[in-house]
Each structure stands twice: as C-alpha cells, then as structure tokens.
C-alpha cells in the first residue's frame, strides 16, 4: 500500500474495539505485567494528533482520549502503522502497549490538555535472538527514540490532507 489515508486509518483503528488477548510467557511475566493494558474494548471520546521528530525519523501519533485520560495511541513511522496500543499502569509515563506483539510507545506523563506538547521516549519492541554464549536472549529494540514534538507540524495536522502527512513522514 503506497498511499493511504493516515488519519482515516488511525481513527478507524482507534475507534475499533481493542482486545488484550495474547500469549503470556512465564519468563517475561514481570515485563508483561508492567505493560499490560488496563483497559480493553475502548471507544474513545476524542483524539489528539501529534507530530514528532525522533532520532530515527519522524512519527505521527494519534492519541485516543477516554474519560479525560489519554487511554490509547496508534503511531506511524516510516510508512508503517502500529496496531492500537492501550495505556498501561506505568505511573511515571504515558506508556502504551500491545498485547502479544510486544510493541510499546512511551510519552512523558501528560494529561489530555498537554498531550500535544509532551516529549516521547519513543517506540520500542521486544526482540529475541541469541546471546554470545548461544543461549536465547530477549531484549528491547528501539525503533524510534528521543522524540521531540514538532510544534509547527502538530498545529498544521488538523488542516492537512492525509497525503501531505504521508509526504511529511517521508522527508
């Protein structure tokens, strides 16, 4: 899919019901417990779209707000759209995670009123591989980190065509 409507796809996905199924591995129980979404089957009241410039490129994030809480997010990075990620119980950050796919987006703690100005730690995913000794290894791979809000672009997003958002991501 070369061109698609970013906002339309994100909005459709955010309004769809999200499930928190997925396999839990006993060896990663502590990690998964910290990133288990606290809400499922969410229908959001409103949305906030934010543009970020990260160390590894640009990211568009569409936050879903429910009952005056930033409750979910979906991000687009390098023409790849994440699945819906729901808010976890992390008290230090706005942390959002998928179940089963081990993808996480972390934003500095922000309320719906200031979600468009808060920096993000970034997008990460759980990766598996082999340690130097040949044993199985599990770690976190950063996809996009150290993300600053692009204030000028964030202000333009509500009035931009979806094609122009896609072009901005590619620049």
In whole angstroms, what separates CA 167 from the centre of its chain? 20
Is residue 158 scored above 60 in pLDDT?
Answer: yes
Q: So where are the chain's domains? A: 6-170
Q: d(Cα 103, Cα 95) in Å, to the nearest integer?
A: 11
Residue with tokens 């976890």: 88
How far is Cα 112 from Cα 52, in angstroms, rounded to an integer? 17
User: pLDDT-based confidence at 31, cuts 50/70/90?
Assistant: very low
**pLDDT tens per residue, range 93-143:** 999 998 766 899 999 999 999 999 999 999 998 777 766 777 766 666 788
Buried/exposed 45-84: b ≥16 CB within 10 Å, e otherwise: eebbbbbbebeeebbbbbbbbbeeebbbbbbbbeeebbeb
CA 162 to chain centre: 19
Q: Calculate the average pLDDT of the chain.
A: 77
In this structure, what token pair is assigned to residue 142?
A: 């950063």
Confidence of residue 60 (pLDDT cuts 50, 70, 90): very high
pTM recorded for the entire structure: 0.72
Q: How confident is the model at residue 78 (pLDDT cuts 50, 70, 90)?
A: confident
List Cβ neighbours of 81 (8 Å cut-off, separation of 6 or more).
Answer: 6, 9, 10, 13, 74, 75
pLDDT band at 58 (very low <50, low <70, confident <90, very high): very high
Largest CA distance in the chain: 54
The per-residue pLDDT for 18 is 37
Rounded Cα–Cα distance for residues 70 and 66 (Å) = 7
DSSP 17: P
């Amino acid at each position: 899919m070369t061109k698609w409507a970013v906002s339309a796809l994100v909005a459709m996905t955010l309004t769809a019901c999200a499930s928190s199924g997925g396999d839990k591995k006993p060896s990663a129980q502590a990690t998964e417990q910290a990133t288990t979404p606290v809400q499922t089957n969410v229908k959001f009241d409103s949305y906030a779209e934010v543009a970020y410039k990260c160390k590894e490129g640009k990211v568009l994030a569409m936050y879903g707000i429910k009952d005056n809480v930033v409750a979910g997010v979906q991000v687009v990075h390098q023409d790849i759209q994440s699945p819906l990620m729901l808010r976890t119980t992390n008290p230090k950050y706005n942390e959002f995670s998928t179940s089963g796919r081990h993808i996480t987006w972390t934003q500095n703690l922000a309320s719906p009123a200031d979600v468009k100005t808060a920096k993000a730690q970034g997008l990460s995913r759980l990766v598996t591989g082999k340690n130097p000794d040949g044993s199985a290894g599990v770690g976190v791979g950063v996809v996009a980190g150290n993300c600053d809000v692009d204030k000028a672009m964030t202000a333009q997003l509500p009035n931009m065509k979806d094609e122009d958002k896609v072009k901005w991501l590619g620049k």
